[in-house]
Structure 1
């Protein structure tokens, strides 16, 4: 993205400052070293412990040849080690590259190769999956990778362990030349193309995003953040691994989602602030034990990442007794709009809110929402993607169709981007289509979203079988699984047609397929 005076405008207005992402942790450790920074699976990490671990990990990476500008990738669940790796990479002057742990061979190899990652940190096992074995299998595809660090490996497994690097490192950390303009985060998002897109953020953009959220929701050091959203997502990165330390408060992590456990943690630690996607909110509100739990500490549940039914906002507001708001954002522009306690409940339920901070929104002539602000990303790692992503005057084309009412509230009404948002995960329809087209029993295929009250959307494959062939949902799921497709991307509904509806130019009329997927089940449809 060309600068076009952006740096001058944002620094002159005070939106971009000299603050560095990891400095807040160090400052809080100096002020209140014994205060609890992170709660993870029953362990309480103090600010002194967390900051010391970040210093040691950063200096150990430096000792192994990692320097400013190098990419440190990691696939880790919501655990304190993820925070250590993320902030250590940034403190070193390297670039932190979170990869969501649901990704498998195909996506992980693509990201590590394009990012030219020199280091990757993985868990020994998480939810039964062997991550070091996966890295071994794809290593030939990622020539820049030099170091593989394993969290939770046994001392006799022959792996470089996370604990080994902490022992190698120095408590005083590293002294790296850095500025707030430096790229601190490389985060991949899947959009309209089959390959994930690498989004670049600096200290400037990340810092402004969190400051605007703190001001908008009136957050203080007394707030306790609950983070069930994956820390490999922009939500988890910003509000689970950075914002709490700006406040000098505590973050409570949950690595495997279970709403009963979530309610336990909220009650036990008096959590007050949550940012998470629709399934998390739905799970809390509909858990049978909710009436017996004390969730009176909750002040704000900001919901986004997937479509949020208005009725869920209304029900959650009553059931949780807090401010429940919808919000709109993306990896590229984390939060453009939201609502807070000053907004009427119906605005919070029916719209995606109003602009926060210095964010701006507008509609293109065809109704596409365009956004810009100090938190807007710097551009994609693949520079070829930037021309289509930005307007000539620096606004980001979201690909979403919207309305803006007379009060300035935004309502998303559809998407130009051909993606499916399943539980907050962006899934490329084209990626699945490209693979299914290779199936010998498939003559034609389109992949669309199918509404779901909990996840927002599920993946629906619409298939035209080849002559004389039979296509079943278990068969195509097994075929995709053999090609190491991530489980969340597997079709969960199948519609069989004699032909796909197309316009005169030959393009598939996906709006008609979405209507079909929204309709009641037909005899030609299989579900699982």
Structure 2
């Protein structure tokens, strides 16, 4: 890691210091807009100081883990930056997690503090924490946003009021300190704790700012969960590096997103496929003036080429695909200098100082200054890294002559039918263009003779129905090999996705295993063969 410092790639910046710098130079500039309210840089920095000093007074210090499971609210920003300010480790937990996942994370992280909402989407978070608290013995403080005072929990507002707005003791800190512990929501059932330092996070955002030509005048719109790497980087950190404004949306509604983009002249968005799809297919899209939108970078999940083309044409802005992960946030991307064909059909070129290579089996491997420092469970590192230190992404890829990367599937997303390897993504890209299909995933289904068969999991467009034979006819017309044609069909109302938008294929494979009869069609509601 020393060479990143020697080469000037790791600049030694502390993530939260950007906020203080801009609070000094532009104190009245709006930093955050959330639920119809706004906070200036001075307001935000003072609240971060108050929470930081209050946590410190309660015994939270260097290396302690502060967990929080909050929606896209300004309180999430305050908790994250306040934790870093006293040398603690910020540990976002996605709000959709429940007792099992939350208890696992709090135990493994040895969390000293957890911050939760009183209620969000009707769910009682303090009651959940109370239920699991006996199994999380290191947990000392439960802070609740929006709560009334009680004997078990600390009100967030009360805790803020315990602290000081200025002149707080920040303690010994270093840019190589662990700043972020973020569990991968992943496409498997077991989350893994990813460790990032100030240096890895800072470099990532600086490279993105340079790549997309961002400046103070850009307004960031953040609909992606701030408990996910996209939200942490571009909703909680990057805006304050720029000295610009971030507009938060806590519950995804495309019409609300369009209204916010119009109202606040938002220009930069990074979000997963469902967000771009939702905006593009919102019936009232033409009612909004979103001409301020300059960049929509789409990643975190498979992005069909036709979606990029359609969005570019309709939204009149630079729409591109990108590739990254919690472990290596932004490895590739495309910008306005790249042709639409590259932006639509590839996941971009190496971004910043990312190094890319293909392993012997076609697996994409990456390394560079934003690569995570390893997993909290160090036993996972041996399988994650090659002998010479490259991160094994688990994704299969092609790299063209111009250096553009195309992800063609997961190592575990190859269907082996009768000894033939079939890419699920190839079939998905074809089916995404079917006029009756709203969403699509292709998975393997076990077979006693061929080992695996191709199973299409389809969400029909509203008011439409589709049959297996229609799908086969459509794909046959695309002149793809016969062994790639789906032999089983599952119809669902919605695909199960993690918060980053990736389809949870392990859930779909389990569903496919429930019925291994060739040619069956399974509906989400009746689950009966037709």
Q: CA deviation at 1:416?
A: 1.4
Aligned residue for 1:240? 235
Equivalent residue runs for 1:197-208 within 5 Å: 197-208=192-203
The match for 2:164 among 167, 170, 179 is 170
2:63 matched to 1:69?
Answer: yes
CA contact (8 A) 1:351 1:409 kept: yes
2:522 matched to 1:525?
Answer: yes
CA contact (8 A) 2:223 2:250 kept: yes
CA contact (8 A) 1:493 1:526 kept: no
Judged with a 3 Å threshold, the aligned counterparts in structure 2 of structure 1 residues 446 and 38 are, in CA distance, closer, same or farther, namely: farther
Q: CA deviation at 1:85?
A: 0.2
Q: CA deviation at 1:174?
A: 2.6
Aligned residue for 1:298? 293
- Give the number of aligned pairs: 457
Judged with a 3 Å threshold, the aligned counterparts in structure 2 of structure 1 residues 412 and 301 are, in CA distance, closer, same or farther, namely: same
TM-score by length of 1: 0.81
Judged with a 3 Å threshold, the aligned counterparts in structure 2 of structure 1 residues 447 and 210 are, in CA distance, closer, same or farther, namely: farther
Aligned-partner Cα distance in 1 for 2:226–2:206: 19
Aligned residue for 2:222? 227
Aligned-partner Cα distance in 2 for 1:247–1:451: 42
Aligned-partner Cα distance in 2 for 1:271–1:145: 39
Question: What SS is found at the alignment partner of 2:241?
Answer: helix
Aligned residue for 1:47? 41
Deviations 1:261-292 (A, max 9, x none): 00000000000000000000001111111112
Equivalent residue runs for 1:415-454 within 5 Å: 415-417=410-412, 450=457
Aligned residue for 2:432? none
The match for 2:6 among 12, 30, 35 is 12
Equivalent residue runs for 1:15-26 within 5 Å: 15-26=9-20
Question: What SS is found at the alignment partner of 1:58?
Answer: helix
CA contact (8 A) 1:71 1:97 kept: yes
The match for 2:130 among 111, 136, 140 is 136
Aligned-partner Cα distance in 1 for 2:26–2:53: 23
Aligned-partner Cα distance in 1 for 2:95–2:14: 27
Aligned-partner Cα distance in 2 for 1:453–1:237: 33
The match for 1:101 among 79, 95, 108 is 95
Aligned-partner Cα distance in 2 for 1:498–1:281: 33
Q: CA deviation at 1:319?
A: 1.0
Judged with a 3 Å threshold, the aligned counterparts in structure 2 of structure 1 residues 202 and 236 are, in CA distance, closer, same or farther, namely: same
Aligned-partner Cα distance in 2 for 1:205–1:50: 24
Aligned-partner Cα distance in 2 for 1:303–1:372: 22
Question: What SS is found at the alignment partner of 1:242?
Answer: helix
Judged with a 3 Å threshold, the aligned counterparts in structure 2 of structure 1 residues 29 and 122 are, in CA distance, closer, same or farther, namely: same
TM-score by length of 2: 0.81
Aligned residue for 1:84? 78
Deviations 1:19-70 (A, max 9, x none): 1000000000000111000000010100000000000001110111101000
CA contact (8 A) 1:402 1:413 kept: yes
Deviations 1:176-218 (A, max 9, x none): 1101000000000144753210000000100000000000000
2:318 matched to 1:323?
Answer: yes
Query: RMSD of aligned C-alpha atoms?
Result: 3.0
CA contact (8 A) 1:473 1:493 kept: no
Q: CA deviation at 1:497?
A: 5.9
Aligned-partner Cα distance in 1 for 2:396–2:509: 26
Aligned residue for 1:149? 143
Aligned-partner Cα distance in 2 for 1:218–1:524: 49
CA contact (8 A) 2:491 2:522 kept: no
CA contact (8 A) 2:87 2:170 kept: no
2:88 matched to 1:111?
Answer: no
Question: What SS is found at the alignment partner of 2:230?
Answer: helix
Structure 1 residues not aligned, in runs of 5+: 1-6, 422-428, 430-444, 455-471, 475-486, 501-515, 517-521
2:403 matched to 1:408?
Answer: yes
Aligned residue for 2:479? none
CA contact (8 A) 1:186 1:198 kept: yes
Aligned residue for 2:433? none
2:328 matched to 1:344?
Answer: no
The match for 1:36 among 30, 37, 55 is 30
Question: What SS is found at the alignment partner of 1:221?
Answer: coil
Structure 2 residues not aligned, in runs of 5+: 415-423, 426-442, 444-451, 462-489, 493-503, 526-530
Aligned residue for 1:4? none
